Amino acid sequence: MQTKPWQMEYLPYYVIAKNKLDEQGIFQWTNNYPTLAIVENDIDEGNLYCAILENQCVGIINISEEQEPEYDRIAWKNNNGKILVIHRLAVDPLFQGKGIAKKLMDFAEQFGIRNNYPSVRLDAFSENKRVLEFYETRGYKKRGEVYFAGRQSPFFCYEMDL
């Protein structure tokens, strides 16, 4: 598997991932997030990457320094210097359970190490128990929770030293 910058042709993966989560009763993404404008901005900024397996995109991830305004209320451990933030990780449902999310996170964390980030932050929907366990098993520590517009349940904020 290789990872390369995001290309517009992979946009449907967010819709596919959202629909699969909805089927499971996990309503972490809405029809208003992520929007085409957000994805286009991620592409323009060079922050989206996709996992390629046999010439097919099987997963996507945003790696940037952009933090949601809601993060200001969190008691983060690392507050000095630049911070790496993960957003919008999604794996094609046909390839879930094959280690794609792990490889994308390995890539993001190695990116952080190579670029001298002291830590990585992310948020995860509190109703998505599988993803919470995934991050906690990787060593991420819960630092607090935030609420985003259009969702009734909180998102847990995680941080891991690199």
Q: Is residue 62 part of a domain?
A: yes
Q: Are strands 56-64 and 119-125 parallel, antiparallel or unpaired?
A: unpaired
Model pLDDT, residue 13 = 66
Model pLDDT, residue 4 = 46
Q: Is residue 77 part of a domain?
A: yes
- Write out the residue range of the structural domain in which residue 112 sits: 2-118
The CA distances from residue 162 to 17, 108, 129, 147, in Å, are 28, 11, 24, 26
Model pLDDT, residue 45 = 92
Among 147, 107, 152, 102, CA closest to 123: 147
Residue 62 sits at the vertex; the CA angle it makes with 88 and 104, to the nearest 5 degrees, is 90
**In the chain, how many domains are there?**
1
The count of other CB atoms within 10 Å of the CB of residue 39 is 20
| DSSP 8-state code for residue 9 | G
Model pLDDT, residue 133 = 98
The pLDDT tens digits along the chain (162 residues) read 444 444 455 556 677 777 788 788 877 877 777 877 887 788 889 999 989 888 888 888 999 999 999 999 999 999 888 999 999 999 988 899 999 999 999 999 999 999 999 999 999 999 999 999 999 999 999 999 999 988 889 999 999 999
How many residues are there in the chain?
A: 162
Helix spans in the chain (H)? 12-23, 36-45, 100-114, 129-137
Q: Is residue 132 part of a domain?
A: no
Distance of alpha carbon 122 from the chain centroid = 7
Say which CATH number the domain at 8 has: 3.40.630.30
Q: Is residue 44 part of a domain?
A: yes
pTM of the predicted structure, to 2 decimals: 0.87
